[in-house]
Amino acid sequence: MGLIKKKTAWYVILRALREKVSTFNSSTCSSTSMPDRLSQIASRIKEIQSWLGFSDEFAEGWIKISTAFAKSVVADKSINGNDIRTRFPTVFENFLRDDPDCNKIYETLTEAF
Band (pLDDT 50/70/90 cuts) for residue 4 is low
DSSP string, 58-111: HHHHHHHHHHHHHHHHHH-TT--HHHHHHHHHHHHHHHHHH-HHHHHHHHHHHH
What residue segments make up the domains of the chain, in order of their start?
33-112
Position with higher pLDDT, 42 vs 32: 42
pLDDT of res. 28: 55
**Sign of torsion over alpha carbons 63, 35, 20, 45:** positive
| pTM as predicted | 0.86
